[in-house]
Structure 1
Amino acid sequence: MPEAFKLSGMINGIISTFLIGALCTYCLHVLVKAQYVMCKKLRVALLTYPDSMKIACDIGPTCLRGFAPYAPALTNFFLIFYQMGICCVYVVFVGQNLKYVFDEYTSTKYSLIVYMLIVFVPFVLIICIKNLKLLAPFSILANVITLITFGVVCYYIFQNLEDFSDRPAVGSLSDYPLYFGTTLFSLQAVGVVIALENNMATPKSFRQPMGVLNIGMILVTVIYVGMGMMGYWQYGDGIKSSITMNFPIAEILAQVIILSYSLAIYISYGLQGYVPVQIMWTNYIAKHLEDANAKKKSFYEYLLRIVCVIVTFVLAMTVPLLGLFISLVGSFCLSALGIAFPAIIEMCANWPEKSHPKTLLFWKDILLIGIGVIGLSAGSYSAIYAIAGKLASGDY
């Protein structure tokens, strides 16, 4: 988030992050409520996101009904792209931070790709853990490390602050789409929210004014605003894509925290990689292996997992630009999954009783769809353009 504030400017970043946080929270409410409406109509306990899109198109305006058979595939595409994008970000993060630490101790400065190749096998091993219960203890460890890292980050960013007025209040308009994508990536958690709501004992309490969703999103938004503001205030235009790379590398504390947090991100890779593997295996691959024996099925599942790791590493090595990759994933995937799709589902779920061209609900959803489309288009274009420029100039 500090790099996002560099793009937006200090005051603009504070205001815009709160507004985007409110938008994300509202769209999550829209999605969860619309799914509840459809579950009630169909008399089913719960719906997955892809199924929600399909059913919404089936029962919505006539112009969308022909799209219904393709809606699950499109939704899965964005979900897979999003999760694989997160995995790519994690690979770049770990590689960059390892290089940052070990460059302090080696006379030969190895390239980032070398450090990525060093960690390739460990990443393969963790994604090959099929049972989430085996990953759970490691996930707890990763959360503890993240909490400790947060404390150390606060220790560094509150030291010897410069004059607040030295930081520009508003950034360049051309950089705002990149800021938007980065902020969406940080704040939007549509997959986690759906899974959490579906597994709660009392799902209705999830959407209450003082429910889990509102409190959780308020806390997350406040934390990211605080980290973004203080990080940019401390380091200014010298802020890196990962704030850990602004730590004084000569200090042992900084080195320990950087390596520990890299371990936490490595562990999280196994959890994030689980999602695209499950989507691809369950929906598109397993049905072609119904007649195969268990050994053959297991072989192909492991092969899929390894291929996913290879794809994320190839992308990470090709585009080792952490900040821009985050912005691209946020703009392209979350503008759709977190803003436009929930509005489409709500419009269709309430069609035609409460949602039609003469209702405020209809035009509100049209506005949200417009915001999603503009965010996706402008953010993706800006990120791809910036990535191409960096790669062409060798500035990475």
Structure 2
Amino acid sequence: MEEKTETVHLQPVAEPAKDGVPASFADDEDYDPHEHRQVNRPTNDFETLVHLLKCSLGTGILAMPQAFARSGLITGIISTIIVGALCTYCLHVLVRSQYDLCKRLRVPLLTYPESMSAALTRGPPALRALARPSALAVDIFLVVYQLGICCVYIVFIAENIKAMVDDYYVMDVKIHMVIILGPLIAFNCIPNLKILAPFSTLANLITFVGLGIVLYFLLGTEKKSQTPLDLWGSYKTYPLFFGTILFALTAVGVVIALENNMKTPKSFGKPFGVLNVGMTFIVLLYIAVGAIGYVFCVEKCSDSVTLDLPQNSWVAMSVKAMFAVAIFISYGLQCYVPVDVVWSGYLRPRLLQSHASQPKLVASEYALRIALCLLTFVFAVSIPRLGLFISLFGALCLSALGICFPAMMEMCLSWADAGATGRGRMRRLKDWLLFIFGIVGLVVGTATALLAIVESFM
């Protein structure tokens, strides 16, 4: 997103509780948060849909052929539809819960961590002590996920550059990572999203053109492998598929920002609104790339489908260069999120409390940007496994951010509305099932990815 929306920070609840529900959460049907939002240059429905689509076309979709190789063709198609529907539903739950909390608190906007904290504050008594830690947990998962994306991007850029230059001079992929480190740090030190906006537009254009060329090669080139297709896959590798598909489909932070920045936010979650239309198109596109890429490569699918294109074609080589440039630009945009969370939420307030001077504040922010860039570089060099990185961070972070936390928020809101009675029992049961499913996906997917990473070094 090019524009940042203004966020009202939630204050601690101090009013006495009544019937187990804090008084400050009293309903007020006259207050509509959407009417009180002040957004600079809000987007219309079509612009929001375009933003949603372009934010979903990155390394995740390029890893779909390998994901299908781990799940099997039929299992991959069915599972992508199911997981896509589940992710879309959980995003609806998250947006709906945030709106309800804003309405009750009489504020126009709440961040994801603030919403999580507010929901637990009004939930069952046993969960209220977790209100403040839950906000920290959301921030941690967001930061880890975004830094994980940056690690994936470094590996992706280096592997595609290596594929382009190996015919002329062979170097280890880690050497390529060292070469791009300086430019990455310099690009990550750009502090303003407005400056990054033109680069973002260029990256989006390159990505769309590159993806079209990739599909052209997959459909018009002789198959890379003649091995029979695996239709059903194996339960042993399925968790890796699950992590990859979550990484590709679940854009929690993007969805919240898009809905917050809309001119007509009520149309976002309608049956034929932006979210459903966008996610339907995204799921179909991911199935197309995954299935076509898997039929082309079968068991020889690389971590990114760009690495499976013919080496003797200048057009295929240009696609690698295009995606390398696009992902390089996107690195600065993705790293902006953890920098903003850590700097604005934690580091800057502490420095202001210590009466730090303006030069020290500026130096500290740049030091943070460089440190986070170096951190992602160290992880990428230590574990240069693109596909496994995608599965790991998808299972670890997005199972929590995209499934567990939204289910818990709705569960707490439903409990508060029904009190200790049986009203809303089916909704709470559904939320418990979603939460358990997310936890299982997190544990099994993360463990499988970590085990695969360890085995890859043996």
Using the size of structure 1 for normalisation, the TM-score is: 0.96
CA distance in 2, matches of 1:222, 1:381: 29
In the TM superposition, 1:253-292 aligns within 5 A as 253-290=315-352, 291-292=355-356
AA aligned opposite 2:451: Y
In the TM superposition, 1:337-376 aligns within 5 A as 337-354=401-418, 358=422, 359-376=425-442
TM superposition shift of 1:168: 1.1
CA distance in 2, matches of 1:340, 1:157: 37
Confirm whether residue 66 of structure 1 aligns to residue 124 of structure 2. Answer: no
Confirm whether residue 209 of structure 1 aligns to residue 271 of structure 2. Answer: yes
What's the secondary structure of 1:201's corresponding residue?
Answer: coil
What's the secondary structure of 2:311's corresponding residue?
Answer: coil
TM superposition shift of 1:349: 1.9
Q: What's the counterpart of residue 179 of structure 2?
A: 118
Indicate the RMSD between aligned Cα atoms, in angstroms.
Answer: 1.4
Distance 1:372 1:262, change over 3 A: same
Confirm whether residue 382 of structure 1 aligns to residue 448 of structure 2. Answer: yes
Confirm whether residue 327 of structure 1 aligns to residue 400 of structure 2. Answer: no
Asked if 2 retains the 8 angstrom alpha-carbon contact of 1:331 and 1:376, the reply is yes
Asked if 1 retains the 8 angstrom alpha-carbon contact of 2:203 and 2:330, the reply is yes
What's the secondary structure of 1:124's corresponding residue?
Answer: helix
Asked if 2 retains the 8 angstrom alpha-carbon contact of 1:164 and 1:233, the reply is no
Q: 2:93 aligns with which of 25, 30, 52?
A: 30
Q: Deviations over 1:24-48 (max 9, x none)?
A: 0000000000111111111111110
What's the secondary structure of 2:220's corresponding residue?
Answer: coil
AA aligned opposite 1:167: L
Distance 1:160 1:257, change over 3 A: closer
In the TM superposition, 1:87-166 aligns within 5 A as 87-106=150-169, 109-160=170-221, 166=228
Asked if 2 retains the 8 angstrom alpha-carbon contact of 1:34 and 1:345, the reply is yes
Q: Deviations over 1:214-260 (max 9, x none)?
A: 01101111100000000000111111011110111221111111011
TM superposition shift of 1:353: 2.2
Asked if 2 retains the 8 angstrom alpha-carbon contact of 1:87 and 1:272, the reply is yes
Q: What's the counterpart of residue 180 of structure 1?
A: 242
Distance 1:186 1:309, change over 3 A: same
In the TM superposition, 1:190-209 aligns within 5 A as 190-209=252-271
AA aligned opposite 1:9: G
Runs of 4+ in structure 1 off by over 4 angstroms are 160-165, 354-357
AA aligned opposite 1:375: G
TM superposition shift of 1:350: 2.5
Asked if 1 retains the 8 angstrom alpha-carbon contact of 2:142 and 2:338, the reply is yes
Q: Deviations over 1:260-283 (max 9, x none)?
A: 110000000000000000000011
What's the secondary structure of 2:377's corresponding residue?
Answer: helix
CA distance in 2, matches of 1:135, 1:373: 36
What's the secondary structure of 1:207's corresponding residue?
Answer: coil
What's the secondary structure of 2:113's corresponding residue?
Answer: helix
Choose between structure 1 and 2: higher helix proportion.
1
User: Highest relative contact order (Cα 8 Å, sep 6+), 1 or 2?
Assistant: 1
CA distance in 1, matches of 2:332, 2:154: 11
CA distance in 1, matches of 2:441, 2:346: 30
Asked if 2 retains the 8 angstrom alpha-carbon contact of 1:355 and 1:362, the reply is no
Confirm whether residue 76 of structure 1 aligns to residue 135 of structure 2. Answer: no
Confirm whether residue 310 of structure 1 aligns to residue 374 of structure 2. Answer: yes
Asked if 1 retains the 8 angstrom alpha-carbon contact of 2:122 and 2:416, the reply is no
CA distance in 1, matches of 2:313, 2:408: 51
CA distance in 1, matches of 2:203, 2:387: 22
AA aligned opposite 2:340: Q
Confirm whether residue 47 of structure 1 aligns to residue 113 of structure 2. Answer: no
AA aligned opposite 1:74: A
Confirm whether residue 13 of structure 1 aligns to residue 76 of structure 2. Answer: yes
Using the size of structure 2 for normalisation, the TM-score is: 0.83
Q: Which moved more, 1:72-81 or 1:158-167?
A: 158-167
Which 5+ residue runs of structure 1 have no aligned equivalent? none
CA distance in 1, matches of 2:419, 2:119: 13
CA distance in 1, matches of 2:89, 2:390: 22
CA distance in 1, matches of 2:256, 2:227: 41
CA distance in 1, matches of 2:384, 2:421: 46
TM superposition shift of 1:202: 1.6
What's the secondary structure of 2:146's corresponding residue?
Answer: helix
AA aligned opposite 1:259: A
The count of residues paired between Structure 1 and Structure 2 equals 390
Percent identical: 47
